[in-house]
Amino acid sequence: MKAKPTLILLLFCLFPALANGQSTIDTGQLVFDRSFSSGRYLIPVGPFKDDMVEMLETEGSTNKQVYQIKGDSSTLELLENSWERLSEHDFEILFKCETWNCGGFEFREVIDVVESPHMFVNLGDFQFFSASRDNEEGKQYVTILASKSNNTGFVQIVFITPREEEKLENIDFNFTSQVLEIETQLEYDFSAKGFTILTGVEFNSGSSDINENSISQLKDLAVFLKENPDKKVILVGHTDLEGELENNINLSSERARSVRNTLISVYDSNPDQISAYGVGFLSPHETNLTPEGRHSNRRVEALILQNFQ
């Protein structure tokens, strides 16, 4: 069957919410492992083309895993390593592609991807394949998505089995490189994306004063700045869509400056490492059509800049 991206994204929203990021990655390389009850799951079996991706509709329970691997392995090597393990268990390729012949950004937006900090997709460097095998209960399916950020590899594996009670045997993917150890969500975001949303930092409606209960949420950023005196951050304030643009830009700028002032006055951060700007409602994070989305859009982000004088 073929499904347009908007429909596919709506179908993905029917799946249970994925887990929030952990503050640390343990010594094991498996950083996400979650099973979901039986339901419909769409598997890409073609690239993004003519405003759609060709999808195979499957039915069954799903298990999603994500591995993070520190080292020099390329995305192709990570993918081939995964395929070598699967081929030993009689899986056969349905579809395989790399970044641009997958469809680039459009393909990435359509497919199901575990949220950060577990999974990260570099839009200029990723590999994908889907595969299947027959057993007594019917077909089993698997998709593999591999990508790379700096010296960290990310491999997402999704298994689909016909019945909820059925389990795939353990498959050792033999990811033996050193695991990347990250102490905080903020450090992960800076490493993988170059920015972080200062979650937990909230403002009263129409005010630029930080809610007193959320000041402690800035501690990780303050510690990061002290431990990395050669780096600086730009704080960017955002608002929801209510009100005039000029007023929202002013309010978002004031909120970013309020965060900067708090870092300096409460945590003794170096003023030279921090600048503050506002963009109003010009860069929404979520929809402005719901109260929850508007709340999410009222935020301050921190962008990391490397090595300054």
- 236-255: average pLDDT: 92
Q: Which of 302, 299, 288, 297 is nearest to 235 (CA)?
A: 302
The 10s digit of each residue's pLDDT in 62-113 is: 888 888 887 778 888 888 878 887 888 888 999 999 999 999 999 998 999 9
Q: Point out the least confidently predicted range of 176-180, 201-205, 223-227.
A: 176-180
Domain ranges in the chain? 2-161, 194-305
Q: Across the strands, what pairs with 155?
A: 67, 146
**Domain 194-305: which CATH number of 3.30.1330.60, 3.90.1150.10, 3.40.1260.10, 3.40.50.620:** 3.30.1330.60
Tokens in use for 1?
Answer: 């069957």
Nearest to 85 by CA among 133, 46, 121, 126: 133
Residue 270: how many other CB atoms lie within 10 Å: 12
Cβ-in-10-Å burial (0-12, 13-18, 19+) of 170 comes to exposed
Name residue, tokens 């402005």: 288
Give the other-Cβ count within 10 Å of 256's Cβ.
26
- The CATH number of 2-161 is 3.40.1000
Angle of helix 245-267 relative to helix 219-227, nearest 10 degrees, comes to: 70
Q: Give the pLDDT confidence score for residue 288 in this predicted structure.
A: 86
pLDDT reported for residue 276: 96
Q: Which residue has the tokens 């027959």?
A: 134
Residue 156's pLDDT is 93
Q: Is the pLDDT of residue 240 over 50?
A: yes
Segment among 69-73, 122-126, 152-156, 230-234 with least mean pLDDT: 69-73
CA end-to-end span of the chain, whole Å?
Answer: 56
> What is the structure's pLDDT at 74?
85
**Interval 185-193 mean pLDDT:** 75
Give the pLDDT confidence of 146-156 residue by residue, as tens digits. Answer: 998 877 888 99
The mean pLDDT of 241-258, rounded to a whole number, is 93
What is the predicted pLDDT for the residue at 68?
85
Burial 43-80 (b: 16+ CB within 10 A, else e): bbebbbeeebbbbbebebbbbbbbbbbeeebebeebbe
Cβ atoms of 276 and 260 within 8 Å: the answer is: yes
* pLDDT for 171: 64
Q: DSSP string spanning 45-75?
A: EEEEETTEEEEEEEEEEEEEEEEEEESS--H
- Using the predicted structure, report yes or no on whether residue 31 has a pLDDT greater than 60: yes
Q: Among the listed ranges 159-163, 228-232, 243-247, 251-255, which one has the minimum average pLDDT value? A: 159-163
Domains 2-161 and 194-305 share a fold: no
DSSP-based three-state secondary structure for 126: strand
Q: How far apart are CA 288 and CA 224, in angstroms?
A: 32
pTM: 0.51
Range with the poorest average pLDDT among 52-56, 98-102, 225-229, 289-293: 289-293
Once rounded to an integer, what is the mean pLDDT over residues 115-120? 83
* pLDDT tier at 180, thresholds 50, 70, 90: very low
If you average pLDDT over residues 242-253, what whole number do you get? 92
